[in-house]
Amino acid sequence: MEKRRSVAFHTLGCKLNYSETSTLSRMLENDGFEKKEFDDLADVYVINTCSVTDNADKECRQLVRRIQRKSPESLVVITGCYAQLKPKEIAAIPGVDLVLGAAEKFNIGTHLKELAKGDSTKISSCDIEEVSGFNPAFSLNERTRTFLKVQDGCDYNCSFCTIPMARGKSRSDKIENVVHLPMRSLNLLPTVKNLCRIFIFLCKAAAIKF
């Protein structure tokens, strides 16, 4: 029987990144991967990056070097805002195998099937103007509060902020899809008890305290 591949995640940055990392993790687990802690040995390491501060960029490079010292044969995947903004800069970091931009992060499972250690670093990214559509995401059982993604991108071009360049124009899902996402994902029937559970889930996502 073929050995299950293992994957470990590390998240830099905002709550939106945490919700997306959690969703990517569940996607790969559904594809047969075994989830490991980031400090453990894994076949694949995924770093979901931030670019709001220079420190986040530096931390990404430090994490890659740490992986190389610990497990040089493992695959290293970089995604997130830093990956969208500076894919070539990331690809030049020794040890990075795959760079996924904003439009490709949720296709990570397909990319991993085609990736092997020793291949030249692959960049899968596009101009942010070409990024459209909304990929739902939420975190689950990883922190005290649940993070639910309701919007991506931003239409304001503030001089100090890279979000429009890293995530594109503002876009969101339909309200009914946001409300029913946790229910579908948890395979819950629309009973009164389960609707109450979803209400609590959404309140946690909105940081509402009882």
Instruction: For residue 169, tell me if it sits in a domain.
Output: no
The torsion angles phi and psi of 140, rounded to 5 degrees, stand at -150, 125
How many helices (H) and strands (E) in the chain? 8, 8
93: nearest Cα among 128, 129, 67: 67
Q: What is the pLDDT of residue 208?
A: 45
- Tell me: do 11 and 68 sit in the same domain: yes
Instruction: For residue 161, tell me if it sits in a domain.
Output: no
Q: What is the pLDDT of residue 202?
A: 61
Q: How many domains does the chain have?
A: 2
- Tell me: do 39 and 115 sit in the same domain: yes
- Tell me: do 36 and 89 sit in the same domain: yes
Instruction: For residue 35, tell me if it sits in a domain.
Output: yes
Residue 60 CB coordination number (10 Å)? 24
Counting as low any pLDDT under 70, the low residues of the chain are: 1-2, 53-54, 182-210
Q: Are 59 and 49 in contact (CB under 8 A)?
A: no
Q: What is the pLDDT of residue 54?
A: 67
Instruction: Say what the pTM is.
Output: 0.86
In angstroms, the CA 82 to CA 30 distance is: 27
- Tell me: do 38 and 124 sit in the same domain: yes
In angstroms, the CA 77 to CA 105 distance is: 10
Instruction: For residue 115, tell me if it sits in a domain.
Output: yes
137: nearest Cα among 59, 79, 208: 79
Instruction: For residue 154, tell me if it sits in a domain.
Output: no
Provide the token pair at 187. 């395979």
Q: What is the pLDDT of residue 37?
A: 96
Q: Are 153 and 164 in contact (CB under 8 A)?
A: yes
Q: What is the pLDDT of residue 181?
A: 72
* Domain enclosing residue 43, as ranges: 6-130
Instruction: For residue 136, tell me if it sits in a domain.
Output: no
Q: What is the pLDDT of residue 168?
A: 94
Instruction: For residue 66, tell me if it sits in a domain.
Output: yes
